[in-house]
Structure formats: structure tokens, C-alpha cells
């Protein structure tokens, strides 16, 4: 499990442009997974127009369908940040990052064979918080959810969870049931997203662990080979957030980065530029562990 609270209390290092070098990106191996935490998608007001210009036509159409401006602006920021993050690994300009979509809607990078990177990615956002997961040659899915105390968890569980999960949820103490519900929900969503088959996989067709005292696990699927194919990880998000990560196979190394908007009054080099010539954010590397696998320092730490 990633303990974000422990990471934020521990040693951090500012990541400058020199930290994410071409050499480091090329050394990103199939045994690694990078996680990018964005605590807030609410960008400074002066950047909103510029961010909208980074979207493709289909993304702009999707953004326009949001009824509330806050939801629309967060969607735009999430897609813009995704392009910036991927451009690090591809060694290209963010505007050159193009997406294609699988039949069930999961995005992937276009022109991958030409770049010889085989990058896989997934993102999730809930409220203002977003999480991005990047891998090489491994399918991956991530989900974060804002825990809401006023939801009808029993009704939702009865409609979407497997019979065994509903029974396990009711066996929990009253104080643990909400945590168990969101453990189950995020783990199931992350698995479906990793599979890339969308709603063609009913949520009640497989089971995951959910008790706060049990390790995250895929417990039952129709094809037993799936149990060996995937590893499931809990994201120890703080406060009222729950999160889960599903990775094809079991990576041996994780890197965790925290991405935040820069104070416009500050000067210096920023690691991410959403608009050419404008320093928009700070990136920090956090140190900790996920499921016993260490989160390591960048290969090239700034001097």
C-alpha cells in the first residue's frame, strides 16, 4: 500500500528539468510503474483558456457536454496534464501526443510502433484529485474515489457487487463498512479499466477483497488464469479518498511523483510546462513503499 501521509512527511526532492532526462526516460523498464498524484485539478484562472487549446476535437466535444463549469475545467486540466506527463517519456512536445481509442473507449497512444516505447497509461480523478499510472508493456488500471458518507452503500452494493462481496461487506462492523465499500468499488473499477473492456465486464462477475484488514486481492474470476495475470495494489490515500491500482504482472519498482500548480509569484525552473514559456507547476518525488515494493528515488536526482 502507498502511504501518502508517510510519504508527505518523509524526505522529498524537487524534480527539476534535469531530473527527467532523456536517458532516464529511455531506462523506464517493464519492471517499473510510475504514479503521478495531482492533489488539485483546479488550475489558476489565467490558464484555463490555454489549457482548452491543448485538447483534440473529440476531447473538446466531450468537455462541452459537462453541465457545470467546474467539472468541465477539471476534465480539461486532467487531459492537458496527461499530455504533459506522457511527453516526458516520449521525448516530444505535448501537442504531438495523440490518442486512439479501443472499441470500449480506453485510450492508448497512437503511433506507438514508430516510437518503440510501448507505454501504457491510465488515469482517474474524483473531485479535484487525480492519479495517473504509467507503465511500459504492462496493462494498467487505476481508480480513485471521493468517499461520500451520504451514499446508499447497501443499495449500490446490492446492484453492482458480487454476492460474496455483499456478504463480506455486511460482516464488517458499522465503522468499517464505508471503507470496505470504497475498497471494493475502486478495486473493481481499476481491474475493469486495466482489462480495457469497459461495461462488457459486469462488476458482479468477479470478486475482490474489501475488508480493511485484508490485503488487496483479486479473489474470483471466470478464468482462473486471470488470478495469476494481475496484481492488485491499495493506494493509501489520505482523508476521504480511496484508491486502487491493478497491474499486469507484478512490477519490482514504483516511482511516485506529486504534481501541483506553481505559485505564479515564484520564479525558477518548473518540470512541467502546459503553455510554452510559462512555468505552471512543481513536481516532487516522494519516497515510501507500495505493498512492500520500495518507491525509489529518480535515477537522476538534482544536485
CATH number at residue 275: 3.90.470.20
Q: Are residues 29 and 110 in the same domain?
A: yes
pLDDT value of residue 6 = 44
Q: Are residues 134 and 27 in the same domain?
A: yes
Q: Per-residue b/e over 234-244, b at no fewer than 16 CB within 10 Å?
A: bbbbeeebbbb
User: What would the pLDDT profile of 217-256 be if each residue is shown by its tens digit?
Assistant: 999 998 989 999 999 999 877 778 899 999 999 998 888 8
pLDDT value of residue 116 = 57
Residue 52 lies in a domain: yes
User: What would the pLDDT profile of 173-195 be if each residue is shown by its tens digit?
Assistant: 999 999 999 999 999 999 999 99
Residue 11 lies in a domain: yes
pLDDT value of residue 10 = 34
Residue 146 lies in a domain: no
pLDDT value of residue 114 = 52
pLDDT value of residue 27 = 72
pLDDT at 14 over 70: no
Residue 246 lies in a domain: no
pLDDT value of residue 144 = 94
Is there a contact between 302 and 18 (Cβ–Cβ < 8 Å)?
yes
pLDDT at 284 over 60: no
Residue 43 lies in a domain: yes
Q: Are residues 176 and 35 in the same domain?
A: no
Structural domain of 13: 2-138+251-295
Q: Are residues 60 and 197 in the same domain?
A: no
Q: Are residues 64 and 181 in the same domain?
A: no
Total domains, the chain: 2
* Cα dihedral value 156, 191, 124, 276, nearest 10: -170
Residue 301 lies in a domain: no
Residue 238 lies in a domain: no
Percent of all residues in the chain with a pLDDT value above 90, rounded to a whole number: 43
Q: Are residues 40 and 103 in the same domain?
A: yes
Q: How far apart are CA 257 and CA 36, in angstroms?
A: 5
Q: How far apart are CA 139 and CA 128, in angstroms?
A: 25
Mean pLDDT of the chain: 78
Residue 134 lies in a domain: yes
Q: Are residues 177 and 51 in the same domain?
A: no
- Least Cα distance to 147 among 174, 189, 173, 186 occurs for 186
Confidence at 278, pLDDT banded by 50, 70, 90: very low
Concatenated DSSP letters for 113-171?
HHHT--EEEEEEEETTEEEEEEEESS-EEEEEEE--TTS-HHHHHHHHS-HHHHHHHHH
Amino acid at each position: 500500500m502507498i502511504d501518502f501521509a508517510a510519504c508527505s512527511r518523509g524526505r522529498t526532492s524537487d524534480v527539476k528539468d534535469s531530473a527527467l532526462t532523456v536517458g532516464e526516460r529511455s531506462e523506464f523498464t517493464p519492471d517499473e510503474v510510475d504514479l503521478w498524484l495531482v492533489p488539485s485539478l483546479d488550475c489558476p484562472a489565467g490558464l484555463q483558456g490555454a489549457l482548452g487549446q491543448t485538447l483534440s476535437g473529440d476531447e473538446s466535444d466531450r468537455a462541452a457536454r459537462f453541465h457545470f463549469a467546474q467539472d468541465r475545467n477539471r476534465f480539461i486540466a486532467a487531459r492537458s496534464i496527461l499530455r504533459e506527463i506522457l511527453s516526458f517519456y516520449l521525448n516530444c512536445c505535448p501537442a504531438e501526443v495523440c490518442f486512439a481509442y479501443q472499441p470500449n473507449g480506453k485510450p492508448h497512444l497512437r503511433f506507438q510502433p514508430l516510437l518503440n516505447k510501448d507505454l501504457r497509461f491510465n488515469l482517474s480523478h474524483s473531485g479535484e484529485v487525480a492519479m495517473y499510472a504509467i507503465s511500459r508493456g504492462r496493462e494498467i488500471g487505476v481508480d480513485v474515489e471521493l468517499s461520500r458518507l451520504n451514499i446508499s452503500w447497501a443499495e449500490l452494493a446490492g446492484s453492482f457487487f458480487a454476492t460474496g462481496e455483499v456478504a463480506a461487506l455486511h460482516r464488517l462492523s458499522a465503522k468499517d463498512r464505508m471503507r470496505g465499500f470504497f475498497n471494493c468499488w475502486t478495486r473493481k473499477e481499476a481491474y475493469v479499466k486495466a482489462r480495457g473492456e469497459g461495461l462488457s465486464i459486469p462488476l458482479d462477475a468477479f470478486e475482490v477483497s474489501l475488508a480493511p484488514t485484508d490485503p488487496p486481492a483479486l479473489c474470483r474470476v471466470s478464468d482462473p488464469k486471470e488470478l495469476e495475470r494481475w496484481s492488485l495494489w491499495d493506494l493509501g490515500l489520505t482523508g476521504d479518498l480511496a484508491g486502487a491500482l491493478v497491474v499486469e504482472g507484478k512490477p519490482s519498482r514504483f516511482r511516485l511523483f506529486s504534481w501541483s500548480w506553481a505559485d505564479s509569484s515564484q520564479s525558477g525552473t518548473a518540470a512541467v510546462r502546459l503553455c510554452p514559456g510559462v512555468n505552471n507547476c512543481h513536481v516532487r518525488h516522494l519516497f515510501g513503499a507500495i505493498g512492500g515494493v520500495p518507491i525509489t528515488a529518480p535515477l537522476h536526482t538534482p544536485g
